[in-house]
Chain A
Amino acid sequence: MIRLFDVRFAYGDRIVFDRINLEIRDGEWVALVGANGSGKSTLAKLLNGILLPTSGDVLIDNLNTRDEAALWEIRKRVGVVFQNPDTQIVASVVEEDIAFGPENLGVPPDEIRKRVDETLEMLRLTRFRSSPTYALSGGQKQKLAIAGILAMKPKYLVLDEPTSMLDPPSRDEINSILVNLYKEKKLTIVYSTHNPDEVLLARRVILLKNGEIAFDGDPVDFFSNPELPWSAGVKIPIIAYIAYRIRRRGLNISFPIFDAQRLADELWQLKSKT
């Protein structure tokens, strides 16, 4: 379990969080949303001890991130994937980069080899195993970054806007891989994003606004009233937006609708009635 107790974080004068209390249970997929500057990235870095709270505590399975002796164990358990695919890659060759994490953990060479093979397969990168890392596309690099984290066999996977620098096909591929991994490996996922469709992958949405948690609940509820996400600087899915506006013009369609086919069906049904 991940727990935040009265966590306060400030960069000099600027207060990012005032008092955050949060519990994330094992096996949850949580979406973290909020405007730029709301603290999403800060929170991601607090979860693996890269940043320490100004006051309050961050506990990972009862290990405190303030405890230097525990940090290494914490980082074994909490894997973090960042926004920029390029600056997460350390080695010149794909399989060597994946091996970097396990090597740091002191994993025996044969086991490292096994893990590298497995994660290459999971992320569909096997044919790039000996390729130079600079030659990969943005999407492939981000898959590599994820592979490098997964090779450490983390319990928690934190992703800080992992697809925001990628094009739609790469985004879709990575998200579908993550969904499969979530099901198979029973990971706990904390996924911060601007993209409303990615928010819908989660079962729980946490909204950061003005230094506190302004919403904690179901994604569908979150988008049901567009004023809530908008006031927090979050977009709503485009189909839902169109549905919302059509509804505002007086047409009786259900809300929220996220799927294009469903919206088309409802509109057609309405048309046949008139």
Chain B
Amino acid sequence: MSYLTNLKMGAFIPIDSPIHRLDPRFKIVSTLILLTFLFLVGSPYRLIPYLIFIIVLFYLSKVSFYMLLKGIKPILFLLIFAFIFQIFFTPGKVLIKLGFLSITEEGLNSGVLISFRLLLLVFLTNLLTFTTSPVEITNGIEELLKFLRFAKVPSHEIAMTMSIALRFIPTLFEEADRIMKAQMARGAEFGVGGFVKRIKSYIPLVIPLFVGVFRKAEELAIAMETRCYRGDIGRTRMKKLKLKRLDYIGILVLAVFLLANSVWEWR
């Protein structure tokens, strides 16, 4: 059923906003740049401008703040764990003693820094995936990888592999569902029993799935050859990514932000 696959198709939220309309190459590159800058920041206070910047971007993307917060859920445990680890296990000036454990000032500092940074990292990447469809992301990556052609990086093949994998994810979910149900109808029970037994219980799912995947791959290859596919030789594209005015504005805004921030930081 396609409802299952809707849920699994990544975090893309198809609405219209200036952020959605930005060129995917720009979004990918700027996400990477911002992530790099995030890791170069030394103290939690210096992260605040980034927080504000990201919140503004979220506002512009028209994605509800509920989704922003929901994105934290998966890493909440990691955040808390990292924080606790830092405050208790970083040597330095002791602030509070709890039995044999002690909280240090340095620990508190790095704890806040690391968790805060992690939080911003998640916000940033979520922003990217909320506003850019998987297809756009693969197109963007394909174009960007072209720059690595000189290093003999097979950008076209990588992009094609990614886009075909993407296309088949929902199909495979459905197939897995179908196979599971067929085996359950024969009395199979998945995920029960001791450790070894539980792993073995998935064999009636995994093997038919793999066999199916190989068969599909072969049929797909034939279909692609039938449509004259021969790699990147002489291939044109219907849609070409082109930077628009909005993208130039984005580049400017990003540059200004990073410049201003760096200047402030080194004061």
Contact = CB atoms under 8 A, between A and B. Distances in A.
Q: Check if A and B associate.
A: yes
Contacts of B163: 91-92
A45 B225 CA distance: 11
B220 interface: yes
Contacts, number: 97
A145 B219 CA distance: 13
Contacts of B135: 91-93, 96
Interface stretch (B17-25, B166-174, B179-187): B166-174
A163 B148 CA distance: 44
A82 B229 contact: no
Given A82-B219, A149-B227, A92 B236 contact: no
Contact of A72 (B5, B224, B228, B240): B228
A96 B226 CA distance: 17
A107 interface: yes
B238 A99 contact: yes
Contacts of B178: none
B134 A79 contact: no
A24 to B, nearest CB: 18
Contacts of A75: 225-228
Nearest to A89: B167
B223 A90 contact: yes
Interface residues of B, number: 30
User: What's the dominant secondary structure at chain B's contact region?
Assistant: helix
B216 interface: yes
B223 A133 contact: no
Interface stretch (A56-64, A109-117, A178-186, A255-263): A109-117
Interface in B217-266: 219-220, 222-230, 234-240
Contacts of A45: 222
A152 interface: yes
B64 interface: no
B236 A106 contact: yes
A90 B220 contact: yes
A75 B220 CA distance: 16
A190 interface: no
11 contacts: A75-B225, A75-B226, A79-B226, A87-B216, A91-B167, A92-B167, A96-B238, A103-B237, A106-B234, A106-B236, A133-B167
